[in-house]
Amino acid sequence: MALRGPFSRLLRAQLGHTGQQSRAQSVAVLGAPFSRGQKRAGVEHGPRVIRDAGLIERLSSLDYSVHDFGDLSFSHLEQDEPYMDVKFPRSVGGANQLLSGAVSRAVGAGHTLVMLGGDHSLAVGSVSGHARQCPDLGLIWVDAHADINTPMTSPSGNLHGQPVAFMLKELQDKMPGIPGFQWVKPFLSSRDLVYIGLRDVDPGEYHLLKDLGIQYFTMRDIDRLGIQRVMEVTLDHLLARKQRAIHLSFDIDAFDPSLAPATGTPVNGGLTYREGIYITEEIHNTGLLSAMDLVEVNPVLGASREAVEATASLAVDVIASSLGQTREGAHASADGIPAQKKDTEQLCL
């Protein structure tokens, strides 16, 4: 049962106060220039345009020690035939295995990890690598799409629409052995996941969301409840029982296409700038963000240079806000709560 009212706010304020004392003061930025989880070329250039929009300088201005580890180098197999209509399974699986190891090493070294995609199939590697260090993590998935198709339900076969299905323990019996993914073992329970911003959900995905009892908020829910209430319920759902590391997986198409036009699968009626930034501010205020993805920026699909720059600049704002860039009044309130120093590693037991 979700906590409500003043006790909920007090709990989150306390988590924010203690967590901000304990989370890493260094940020690792890792690029994953990969596009084979979907069919539109250009998303592999996402890490470059996000960096070019001033990401490293912005994060440095927030008093973090910023370590840019550059981009991973992915190999594309010449022979990578579809499997059950799943496209490029070996390439996608291998890329995610490489990414998983890199993310695990960065988080294990004490950094807060920022993964720049690339398409959203990369979340398999990013979240699984994080979970190797923090097996009890909670996942917040901000996206127009649920990305929980299985190979049997996917209308397209594109793996950027299936990453969550590889993670969930409850779907283990519904996932065939996809070539390239033998290394992946389900590690996440459905109760440890919350979606925000959904508005284009396939029929098979809808049934999975309902059958598994996954907490999700569509854009209609956001219209009805308001983004403040959505975030209260989200954080109560993930944190009411205990402190835990948070993984934020943010697809730029969660925003309305008027704000983020340079992306592969835009859907009208998305998040406003204020709603998107409020989500990331509230996640930062918990003090528990340990790793995040920013994916699906595709400069090739921007109709103009201004469209590409606007999308990349928005990506920088999302990342910076997740890591503490604030608007006036966005600071967590912890008046009267004593400081309680905790080790970072305690969140990842």
Residue 60's pLDDT band, with cuts at 50, 70 and 90, is very high
Query: Is beta strand 138-142 parallel, antiparallel or unpaired with respect to 246-251?
Result: parallel
Catalytic residue among 143, 192, 256, 293: 143
Residue 85 annotated among the catalytic residues of the structure: no
Catalytic residue among 145, 237, 247, 284: 145
DSSP string, 138-162: EEEEESSS-----TTT-SS--GGG-
pLDDT value of residue 161: 97
344: in domain: no
336: in domain: no
Q: Cβ-count burial of 335 within 10 angstroms (0-12 exposed, 13-18 middle, 19+ buried)?
A: exposed
278: in domain: yes
pLDDT at 341 over 80: no
Q: Which of 127-141, 208-222, 289-303, 326-340 has the lowest mean pLDDT?
A: 326-340
What's at 90, amino acid-wise? R
94: in domain: yes
Domain residues for the domain of 169 are: 5-325
Q: Which of 6-10, 242-246, 297-301 has the lowest mean pLDDT?
A: 6-10
Residue 71 annotated among the catalytic residues of the structure: no
Residue 331 annotated among the catalytic residues of the structure: no
pLDDT at 72 over 70: yes
| Angle, vertex CA 117, rays to CA 112 and CA 122, nearest 5 | 85
Catalytic residue among 71, 205, 275, 296: 296
Residue 281 annotated among the catalytic residues of the structure: no
Give the whole-angstrom CA distance, residue 126 versus residue 131.
9
Give the whole-angstrom CA distance, residue 248 versus residue 292.
5
346: in domain: no
pLDDT value of residue 195: 98
Catalytic residue among 44, 147, 236, 282: 147
Catalytic residue among 160, 237, 247, 284: 160
337: in domain: no
Catalytic residue among 17, 45, 111, 120: 120
For the segment 213-237, the average pLDDT, to the nearest whole number, is 98
238: in domain: yes
Question: Which residues, listed in sequence order, are joined to residue 217 by a DSSP beta bridge?
Answer: 196
The residue to which tokens 């996809």 are assigned: 178
Residue 237 annotated among the catalytic residues of the structure: no
331: in domain: no
Residue 296 annotated among the catalytic residues of the structure: yes
% helix / strand / coil in the chain, to the nearest 5? 45, 15, 40
Give the whole-angstrom CA distance, residue 323 versus residue 246.
12
Give the whole-angstrom CA distance, residue 232 versus residue 218.
15
> Structural domain tally of the chain?
1
pLDDT value of residue 53: 98
Q: Which of 32-46, 77-91, 251-265 has the lowest mean pLDDT?
A: 77-91
Catalytic residue among 192, 200, 205, 251: 251
* Overall pTM surpassing 0.75 (yes/no): yes
Strand extents, DSSP E, the chain: 26-32, 65-71, 112-117, 138-142, 193-198, 215-218, 246-251, 289-295
pLDDT value of residue 24: 62
CATH (domain of 213): 3.40.800.10
Residue 207 annotated among the catalytic residues of the structure: no
Q: Tens digits of per-residue pLDDT, 278-296? A: 999 999 999 999 999 999 9
Q: Tens digits of per-residue pLDDT, 112-160? A: 999 999 999 999 999 999 999 999 999 999 999 999 999 999 999 999 9
Residue 136 annotated among the catalytic residues of the structure: no
